[in-house]
Chain A
C-alpha cells in the first residue's frame, strides 16, 4: 500500500541492507573493504574495521574507538542508516585518545 502511494520507508525502518565501505583504521598502511549493514551501530562499524587491523598491523591500544565520517565524529550508538552512510563511502576509525595522554 505504501509503495502504491509512493511513500518509501526510511532506511532505518527497512530490513538491514548491505553497505560495503572503504575504511582506514588509525595508522594502518592501506585502505580496506569492510562490509557492514544499515542496522550496524558506529561501535559495531568501528569493531568491524578494527577486526582486520588491530593487533595485526596496528598495535592495539586501550582506548575506545570512534568512527569519523566526512570529518565528523559519530556517536557509538548511531546506526549506519541514521548517519546517512552509503555504499562505497569512506570511514576512518581512530582511537579516542584522551587529550592528556
Chain B
C-alpha cells in the first residue's frame, strides 16, 4: 500500500479528539487546569498552529540538531578555548547556566500540562513536541555547564541554583512558578510561548549568541542557537490561543500579556542586562542592552499587541524609562552583594567602559558615577571592608529583586523612592509602580516569601551575614568576587578621595544585621 502524502492525512489527524461516553467535559478539562474562563468551549475548535510538523519529521530534524551541536562540543573539548575566555564572559555563562537550566525543566512540565489539558487536539500535539524540545534544552544546558565543573566550582550551580534559596533563585522561581507551574494552560500559552519565548528568549538566545561568538565562546553560541531553533517553532502555541482569548475575553488577554511581559522584563534586566553591558568585554559588545531590547523585544512586542488588537500596557512609560535604569542598578546590586551570587561579577567601570556607558546611556554618570567613584576610592585605599555588604538590599515583594530603581526628581536629581502598599495588616515595598500594581491585582495568589520576609520571620539562623549566606547555599569556594579589581580602579589611583569610609581597626568584627545598641554576632 502506498503511503499517503503528509498533506493528505495531516489535516485529519492533527486535531483528533474524543467524544466522552461516561464523563463530562469538565471532568476531562477541569477549569483550574484548562482555564477556558469566558471562552465558550466550542470556540477552541478554531485553534490552528501556523507551522505544522509530523512526528517523523520532528525526530529527523531534532536528531540533526543534536548531532551538530554535540559535534562542535566534542571538537572544542579537545581545544583550550575555555581557558582563553575572559572572566567577565565566563560570568555571563554562569548566570545563564544557573538561571536557565532548570527553568527549561519547569518548561517541560508546562508543555506537558498543555499536552494534556490544551483545549484542542492540535494544541496538545504541538505541546507534545514542545515538551520534547524543553527536555532537550534542560539536558543540553545542564550537560554543557557540567563540563566545566572540574575547572571552576561555580559551574556546579548550573544544576544547583534552583535547589537553593539564593535570592536570585527565589526571584526566578517566583516568576516561572507563576508563569508555568501554577497557571492554567490558556494563561501558560500566552505567558510562556507568546510573551516569554517569542519575545525574551530572542534576547537571551539570539542576541547573547552574538556576544558569545565575539567573545570566542563558540560552544555556548552553538548551544543557545540550537535551542532557539526549537523556541521558534513551539512558541507558536501562543498566537492561536491569544487570538481566541482576545475575541471572547480581551480584558483577561490584556492582563495576562501585560503581567508576563513585565515579569520577564524585570528578570532579563537582572540577568541579561549586566551580561551585555558590563560582563561582555568592551571590545566584544555588539549593542547595548537598551539597543537589543529596542530592536529585538519592543518593536516585536508592540507589533504583536497591535496585531491582536491589544493596547500598550498601562506601565509602558515606566518600562521604557527603566531601560536606562533597571539593569544598571541591578548590576551595582549584584556587584555589591557579590558574595551572594555564583559568578564573578566584573564591575567594568574603567574610564573607557564608563565612556561607552555614557554614550549608550547619557544619564549614567549622573545616576551611578558618584556611587562607583566612592567604591573605586575604597578599593584604591585598600578598604575592602567598605565594599562588602553588612545587611540585605530590600527585595521587591513582586519581582524579588533589589528595590534599586532611581527616578528623576523635578530638580533633576536621581533618587530611589519607596513605593509601599499597606495590605492585610502589613506594609509591602516594591521596586516599581508596575510591581506594586501587579501585586495588588494578584494579591489573592500564593506568592513566594522574599528573602527579607524569611529573614524577619526567623527562618534564617543565625540572623547575620554568615547565616544568610549559609541559607542561600553559598560556600566560600563559590561565593562571587570581582575577578580583577585593578582593571577598573587603576586609572583612578592617587586621586583625592574625601568622604570615604574609615578602614576598621584590625580585628574588628563586622557589624552584621543586628539592630543598633544590641550585641553583635
Contacts and interface: CB of A to CB of B under 8 A. Distances in A.
B332 A61 contact: no
B511 A51 contact: yes
A31 B416 contact: yes
B515 to A, nearest CB: 4
Given A33-B455, A35-B514, A90-B418, A28 B371 contact: yes
Interface string B446-467: 0000001001100000000000
Interface in A1-38: 16, 18-20, 22, 24, 27-37
Nearest to B497: A59
Nearest to B333: A30
Given A27-B413, A30-B403, A59 B378 contact: no
B452 A33 contact: yes
A16 B378 CA distance: 35
Contacts, number: 128
Interface residues of A, number: 39
A81 to B, nearest CB: 13
A56 B375 contact: yes
Interface residues of B, dominant DSSP: mixed
A40 B516 contact: yes
A66 to B, nearest CB: 15
Given A29-B329, A48-B515, 11 more contacts: A22-B394, A29-B406, A30-B404, A31-B418, A40-B515, A55-B386, A57-B371, A59-B498, A61-B499, A88-B429, A88-B456
Interface of A: 16, 18-20, 22, 24, 27-37, 39-40, 44-45, 47-48, 51-52, 54-61, 86-90, 92
26 contacts: A19-B515, A22-B427, A24-B418, A27-B370, A29-B332, A29-B333, A29-B368, A29-B404, A30-B333, A30-B402, A30-B404, A31-B402, A31-B429, A37-B517, A37-B518, A51-B390, A52-B391, A55-B500, A56-B378, A58-B371, A59-B374, A86-B427, A88-B427, A88-B428, A88-B456, A92-B418
